[in-house]
Structure 1
Amino acid sequence: MQVYLFQKSNLLPLPYYDEFGGICGKTRIAEVGGVPYLMPLVNKKKVYDLNTIAKEIKLPGAFILGAGAGPFQTLGFNSEFMPVVQAESEHNPPVNGSYFARVNPEDGRCLLEKYSEKHHDFGCALLANLFASEGQPRKVIEVKAKRRTGQLNFVTCMRQTLEEHYGNKPIGMGGTFIVQKGNVKAHIMPAEFSPCPLTSDEQVNKWLNFYEMKAPLVCLPVFVSRDPGFDLRLEHTHFFSRHGEGGHYHYDTTPDTVEYLGYFTPAQFLYRIDQPKETHSFGRD
């Protein structure tokens, strides 16, 4: 994979963000909850509000991007969640541009919907990896890549490069990228939580619904080079699109033709919210 890095003064030059600004200013990553609240068995007490989270990370009015589990407490079912939110502040009401993807009960395919078209809350649930900022248009890191030559996905390549360069110093980043050409492997969780305990990656993969989805796809990655001891999910990326496909990104399935374009910025702070007391390592791919 060929990756080119350089700084560029820019807004978010991607679709769907007309009502928002950039991804800079008082940047922070927040990991909320975690996979142990989803499996082995779901803990339905673990529900959250993005406006409240913005205040907890000391950034009311934050522009929030990321990946998480959909607010089943409102939707009535389990789903993949793509938060795109301008949280409420003293002078401005909140704006919700989020999407969610569920398994269509009629045909088993992906059903992608914009959250605010049906609901007016700012909830999420169980787990979320969030990148927050003031939403300012300042210098960012632009990454272009095409033609994958190795086994690692786009996000893992960047994360491991940071780890190799910075060693024991954890570096977190977030932003957005487009899969411009090619297809990706993705999953969507079933609408119903598993009634049986999921205790291994093999069991999790049998429970999930896997798909191959086509570009263009708008992705919302959050990644940290290494865990400083907070039981972090090191990388988590969800995506949505104009053509009705969305979900959890795994890797591209067309290495010879895939093309990526992304804009990222480092986080100044890491917040760990509602860390599970009992943990495990499966279900984090």
Structure 2
Amino acid sequence: REQILRNGLKENFADVQVSVVECPDLTHDPFNFPVKGICGKPRIADVGGVPYLVPLVQKDKVYDLNTVAKQIELPGAFILGAGAGSSRILGVNAELIPVAQAESEQKPAVNASYTAQINPADGGCLLEKYSNKYSDCEFGLLANLYASQGQPGKVIEVKANGRTGRHNFVTCMRQIIEKCYGDKPVGIGGTFVIQKGKAKIHIMPPEFSACPINTDEEMNNWLHFFEMKAPLICQPVLISRDPGFDLRMEHTHCFSHHGEGGHYHNDSTPDCVQYLGYFLPAEVLFRIDRPKESHRVGRD
């Protein structure tokens, strides 16, 4: 596996190292996660979907990370990924950067998630720690989640510096895996840090669109795009091939300790960018509340 990733990434990055290592203690900087690792019964959940956001929002689509943990048969799971905030709780539409240990019989949930929304004061990014204001684990509309027991263990460490190709770090890995495994779906999750450089990030506007959004162009015109600076701590969920579940193939949100975060598209400084990531293949995939009516808009 390491060789496959290494060779593939070398086609897109100037300097690549891939190895199997013990997961570093993720309770330390820059992660500050509530658990030490991303190992133990790794699994992926695709919850809801973009069709609940566009063409027109379905605000009644509300979910809970604690419930999801039980649905994926891992109560107390440590959950990372990318989703939408609950507008019912937040009062606005926002990006959710889930970093949470779900409740178990032994202990209550530890929600270390962040939200990124448009700052009403200046139109910039307002990144907030969720637990500073709220005590629930609710989210809305859609999420792509990587869950595990949050334990230490062996992980795939990837270092990639200097992007020479056009695809982002996550797309590169997904395409490499798809090329290798073909029809067999392989899902991966974890965390990576953009250590140097800047990245193109979007944040959804605070108001849902009153006009139907029917194309990717309309979607991009609706979203707010920013260039944000490193270090950015990113939580990717990627799947190499959709086995017919109407999945989002990749989705990555990021937070930082300097007030920036949102939905990762790509680095905007390819020459100097540095990525450092820790990943694990998932053993099981769960599809929760799949939209009955679907489309391909807004899946980037």
Q: Is the 8 A contact 1:12 1:23 kept in 2?
A: no
TM-score by length of 1: 0.98
8 Å contact from structure 1 (residues 12, 263) kept in 2: no
- Offset at residue 9 of structure 1 (A): 1.1
**One of 222, 228, 242 as aligned partner of 1:227:** 242
Shift of 1:238: 0.3
| TM superposition score normalised by structure 2 | 0.94
Residue 69 of structure 2 aligns to a residue in which SS? helix
Letter in 2 for 1:189: M
Q: 1:106 deviation in Å? A: 1.1
* Map of 1:247 onto structure 2: 262
**Alignment pair present for 1:5 and 2:28:** no
1:15 lines up with 2:30 in the alignment: yes
Q: CA RMSD in A?
A: 0.9
Letter in 2 for 1:133: S
Q: CA separation in 2, counterparts of 1:162 and 1:90? A: 37
Partner of 2:203: 188
Residue by residue over 1:40-94, the C-alpha shift from the partner in whole angstroms, topping out at 9 and shown as x without a partner, is 0000110001000000000000000000001111011000000101001111111
**Alignment counterpart, residue 45 of structure 1, candidates 41, 57, 60:** 60
Partner of 2:142: 127
> How many angstroms apart in 2 are the aligned matches of 1:74 and 1:12?
32
Alpha-carbon distance in 2 for matches of 1:18, 1:278: 36
Q: Secondary structure at the match of 1:73?
A: helix
How many residues get paired? 285
The CA distance in 2 between the partners of 1:57 and 1:213, in whole Å, is 34
Give the letter for the 1:78 counterpart. N
Percent of pairs with identical residues: 65
Once the two structures are TM-superposed, the CA of residue 12 in structure 1 deviates from its matched residue by 4.2
Q: 1:100 & 1:150 partners in 2: Cα distance?
A: 31
The residue number in structure 1 matching 2:50 is 35
> Counterparts in 2 of 1:55-204, with a 5 A limit?
55-204=70-219
Deviation track 1:101-154 (CA, whole Å, cap 9, x = no partner) reads: 000011100000000000001000000000000011000000000000010000
Helix, strand or coil at the partner of 1:232 = coil
SS in 1 for 2:254: strand
- 1:21 positional shift: 1.7
Residues 1:274 and 1:18: Cα distance change in structure 2 (over 3 Å): closer
Q: Secondary structure at the match of 1:36?
A: helix
Aligned partner of 2:10 in structure 1 is none
Deviates more, 1:9-18 or 1:143-152: 9-18
- Alpha-carbon separation, structure 2, partners of 1:133 and 1:180: 25
User: Contact between 2:200 and 2:268, CA under 8 Å: does it hold in 1?
Assistant: yes
Is the Cα–Cα contact under 8 Å of residues 49 and 142 in structure 2 kept in the other structure?
Answer: yes
- The amino acid that maps onto 2:101 is Q
Could you tell me whether the CA contact under 8 Å between 2:33 and 2:99 is conserved in 1? no
Q: Which amino acid aligns with 1:153?
A: N
Structure 2 unaligned segments of length 5 or more: list them. Answer: 1-12
State the 1:249 CA deviation. 0.3
Dislocated runs of 4+, deviation >6 Å: none
Give the match's secondary structure for 1:147: strand
